[in-house]
Amino acid sequence: MDNLEGAPLVFFVNGKKVSIENPDPRDTLIKYLRRNLYLTGTKEACSQGACGACTVMISYYNHQQKKIVHYSCNACMTLLCTLHGTAVTTVEGVGSSRNGLHTVQSNLMKYHGLQCGFCTPGMVMTMYTLFRNNPSPTHDDLERALEGNLCRCTGYRPILEAFKKSCPCGESKCMSKDGGAEEVKADKSNDLKPSKDESQEVIFPNELQTDSSYRQKSVKFIGGGYTWYRPTSLKDLFQIRANYSDAVIVMGAQTVLGANIRNRRTTPVLVSSTAVPELKEIKQDEKEFVFGSAVTFAEMEQFLLPLKTKDEKDDEGTLVAALLEGLRWIAADQVRNVATIGGHLMTTGPHDLQTFMLTCEATLTFQYSADKEPFTVKYSQDFNPTSLPAGSVLISVRIPKLLKNEFIFFGKQPYRRGMDYAIVNAGLLVKMDEKSSQITDLRFCVGNIENKPQYLAKVGESSRGSLCTDKLLENVGQVIVEELQNSKAEQLRYKITLASAFFFKFYKRLCKLLKLSDEAAFGLTPTTSKGTQIYDVPTADGSTIVWQPVPHMAAKSITTGEAVYVDDIPEYKTELALALVPSTRARAKILSVDFSNALKAPGVVDFVDHTDVPGKNLYGLLFPESQLFAHPEVFFYGQPIAGILANTREEARAAVKLVKVEYEDLPAVFTIDDAIEKASLFDFSNSTVRGNLEQGMKESEVTLEGVIETGAQEHLYLEPCSTLVVPKKEDKEMEVFTGTQDATGTQKHIGEFLGIPCNRVNVRVKRIGGAFGGKSIDIVPQTGIASVAAWKVNRPVRCVFPRDYDVRSTGKRHGTKAFYKVGFNKDGKINALSLKFYANAGVVQAMSPFVIDQMMTGLASIYDIPHYHSTGHLCKTNIPSSTAMRGFGLPQAHFVIQTMMFDIAKHLNMSFNKLRELNTYREGDTDPYGKVLTDFNLPRCWDDCKSQSKFETMEKEVATFNKENTCRKRGLAMSPCIFYFGYPPLLINQAGALVNVYLDGSVLISHGGIEMGQGLHTKMCQIASTVLGVPLDLVHLCETNTYSVPNTVESGGSFAADINGGAVKIACETIKERLKVLEQAMPQASWNELIQAAFFSRISLSATGYYKPRDKGYDFSKQEEGGEYCQYHGYGAACSLVEVDVLTGEHQILKTDIVYDVGKSLNPAIDVGQIEGGFVQGCGMMTSEQLTVNPDVGSIEAFGPINYKIPGIRNIPKDFNVSLLKEAAGGHKDLYSSKGIGEPPFLLAVSVHLALREAVLAAREANGLSGNCRLECPATPERIRMACAGPIVDRCIGVKDEKKKIQV
């Protein structure tokens, strides 16, 4: 084997053969696709295998089975050398805008299943692969396939709908009633027919079918200082191991090992064992299952599924059912298709199946030489791969079959159902006496409490000889606590309750199997997703294009992977890559920075720091307060100190680790409580005063005090912050391609950093792959440092943040803490409210003053409280400065006020809905800021939502359900919302546009807004089409740039369509007015004839539009006399039904009904998508998205989707219904009576948290606890479970949680 010469790596991409001499084993498929083949449809969003944006289909020919095998995988995790003899299909190989779209692509367009579009190619490839393998998937198959694909924009519902309609089965199974049927009122006027037929599918290369050597011949690749072996026999494998004792065995390389290879942290000899036939065998006999170590989880599942019985009840307690349960929830299909059982067991855990193998006492077979006999090792909690004889190779895993009267169970509790690690997993193997209900032997194992799975021997000892009675449960519960209470794990108390809960569940299921009990209603009710969308669509007679649900204008480009984002721009010949040198301290003095080792690294060209800034090293929104390069102190973990320039981003990132920075640590502050205690507050504050607070409290019959907190939230946009700066050859001009929400602000800052005027800086934005407020001021460090670097070397410079740096160094939604005292009467009427509000602003104020202003208005937005006093303070801490995020302070304020109302209702034992209805403003009332509430549509939204959701009926059903179920409870709650459109300061309520009409009649629009998934460009084109009276396909919008339209304002506040639409409308009306004379003279002329005549008549066909709504701004210091703080209001209401697993704290949203007022929607399909997406993102804030800080170094502990859990396909409302309020008055009359959208629906997710509180209270009541109970935000499984209380929690009260998570 070692005599092999280095061979070329051969595989196919979209039918074309690729041959690479000397491939570098560290290279990934995504790197090669994007930077060598320029197939940029495959997106690099996380490089953690956790988002699915880089999904591709891999195909190979199985010569033994004589068939082609297809599977999906993450290109970011797939090492290039593993692809020898395979065919890769990317989104470009599925369909194109030129040659026709595949049905999957066209239906995503038709059913509005895309917004920012960055996740879309991965969605296409996931579903395309599923349909290639399974032409008749069930509804659950579709949802399962999408578990590995994240979307931050859409809320998933339209994606799922599009794929159901794409099913090759003709909608017979996935759309059937038992598969989750749903009635969707889709747009009938845009019946897009896919133009791509099966004959256009990429044909599997014949060469790979006829030439078996690709898969059956051992090969060796040499490149990048590494040697990669792919043996095809055990003999060859052992020979390599004999020659290279430190050679690393590579299996799926989906976890730690893959990362080590990509980052050059392994020995230079790598051996891929996945092509060794002996390691791919699956066998069974009467005694055991035998799985070769290179068998993937998907292959294990495929083998086991036919062994299940048709009736799932008959599988309960069987080995096959338990093993399938373990396999089912490991990662997602993209990982399961590649990850192997051998790699899983031989790497650091505890992984799910390690706990399972410990439970069933599996045996591992090893061999270290061809002339030596294999030896076996029982998988125990003391198993250590490093203690094996040198050169040992895991051959197979032997799982013993159950004997008579043996039963096995396995379970896993993740933070989020679908594509997540376990908080705790557990397995139970029990043997019963054949003639009685006596336990003769029992093994109970748990994982993820310590760094390896644990066999709780004392549990078995205390159970043997016992009868299956409740007394046993009590005894074992105490033993579990005793065995685990000395662990040093985080969340120890909760983890012990989970271990106890799993034993309880397994025990009850066993009792039901043995017919000793009927009680086995555990876990959440199985269900799949459906939904309806209700809105008015005018007759499609061509008279107006606005108000029509037309698809996203870039949908074809997005679904085919042709849409260009910043990092999709081809590399310039002289381009350099930039990586930032981050602070590794939260607060410290910089004593020295040594670049010497970094400059010696391969590919490194130069470095850049504060000494290279030609202009100012400071920037800010209100005043210069932030440093571009930190000097002489650092104030948060991840703050950029310098940058390294190299030929490739890999070289630049590697060199960053060689920069030596010496610090002198200084005291740091992280949390609101610390900031209050240490008086670390900014001077800025906001106070709202109405009436006489002291008098109001005295007049109140009841007073109540409380504390309410919300955690920070990460934007987790799919496209990481990306910038490409191209210095021009003359006049100090700079061209900047970036994903900013504020093109002019970015232009201004770059000019100040470089000391050049703004007219030398052209900031260009085609589109952004998600932003949500996080790419406004927070992208300035990247664009600024890249510009300084490009200025220094006078070469193009590209900077793309790695996902971990993006998450840890950029601002978040503000964490908040509110102290309230409220006075009210016994009938529920609120008289007085005192609120003291604190927000964690981070290092500098940045956007925080604007956010706290918005929070204050939000607190007083819905309920008419005559005596009111609120004060908002900003805490100065050593985390990245908090910033804008969807809702801009209103979600926190809305959560606080709704939570307070909940507390009042429970205190009075009064209907929560009745309390709020009693205190809600009425038409014509005036709020504390002087705004007269006209066209006050909130009551209509509330009543319609209550009616459509059938709230009163559901309320009774929930009460009945909770009486009948002990271990799962349901909760039901409604929530209203009000949102303000238009910024208080007048200067940011303006916009410009440029409209050009060309001689062929085509129209080009430019405006100052940024397209980031909200459909802004589509709406602008609809407006132009309507005003000019031309077909929509004649209108085009290329990009936003500061040379075409100057002095733009940030795109945010859900107001970008209003102001930019107004500008586009005025520009088009100007052109239309100029053409009037010709229209009168040529009444029968076509549009093209009019344009030709205008040119010959020397009538300008280019016009600018400038729009400025309202004449009064707002001064918060004057309150009711302050002016107008907004243009108009938007209203909405939601009703959510949740179900909680009382034993684990896991929940699901069974149903959500939303009624929202968008006036007369410019595009109802886009607006419904914004409602769904905003609501689901809000659900993340309310439940799963918790940000914590490591107090030792000050780093945010989350570093990407791998450990920061945004909602996935399994976490959306199972029944998701959205209605647009009909005949809604009060819209923006300048713009077709429409209203803004995007942020307001986020607020409605508070209904989910309120419903969870109702479910928790039901659980507490069942456990004999009365009264109200606090539930923090986010309501994680831990918080829900511990709030539910009960005997299991009571047993854990004495357990010390020494390692507590510190939420920010």
Helix (H) or strand (E) holding 832: strand 830-842
Taking 3-state DSSP, the helix, strand and coil percentages for the chain, each rounded to the nearest 5, stand at 35, 25, 40
Alpha carbon of 651 to those of 263, 600, 795, 1008: distances in Å? 10, 11, 17, 37
Contacts of 1189 (CB under 8 A, 6+ apart): 670, 671, 879, 1195, 1196, 1197, 1302, 1304
State how far the Cα of 105 lies from the Cα of 560, in Å rounded to an integer. Answer: 7
User: One-letter amino acid identity for 317?
Assistant: G
Instruction: Find the Cα–Cα–Cα–Cα dihedral 268, 21, 52, 718, rounded to 10°.
Output: 90
Residue keyed to tokens 């020995």: 267
Q: How many CB atoms lie within 10 A of CB 133?
A: 15
CA distance 474 to 1293: 15
* H-assigned helices in 993-1145: 1016-1028, 1056-1081, 1087-1096
Residues 6+ away with beta carbon under 8 Å from 515: none
* Helix pair angle (157-166, 103-110), 10° resolution: 140
With 0-12 CB in 10 A as exposed, 13-18 as middle and 19+ as buried, what is 1269? middle
Between CA 96 and CA 98, with CA 97 as vertex, the angle to 5 degrees is: 90
541's CB contacts (< 8 A; 6+ apart) are none
CA angle 350–355–361, rounded 5-degree value: 135
Residue 871 has a CB neighbour count (10 Å cut-off) of 17
**Residue 217 Rama label (left phi>0; alpha psi -120 to 50; beta):** beta
Ramachandran angles phi, psi of 896, nearest 5°: -60, -50
The amino acid occupying position 272 is S
**Contact present, 1051 and 1012 (Cβ < 8 Å):** yes
DSSP E strands in 691-791: the ranges are 702-710, 722-727, 734-738, 761-765
Which of the following is catalytic: 1239, 1261, 1272, 1278?
Answer: 1239
d(CA 1016, CA 320): 51
Query: For residues 1130 and 910, is the Cβ–Cβ distance under 8 A?
Result: no
Dmax (CA) for the chain in angstroms is 104
1239 is catalytic: yes
Residue 821: both structure tokens together: 């005292």
Query: Where does 393-524 have alpha helices with state H?
Result: 457-463, 470-484, 492-513
β-bridge mates for residue 534, sequence order: 1219
Cβ neighbourhood burial of 730 (10 Å; 0-12, 13-18, 19+): exposed
* Contact predicate 51/145, CB 8 Å: no
Q: Which residues contact 1073 (CB under 8 A, 6 or more apart)?
A: none
The two three-digit tokens of residue 1035, written as one number: 């209108």
Q: Nearest 5°: CA angle at 112, between 107 and 115?
A: 125
379 alpha-carbon distance from chain centroid: 36
Annotated catalytic residues are: 1239
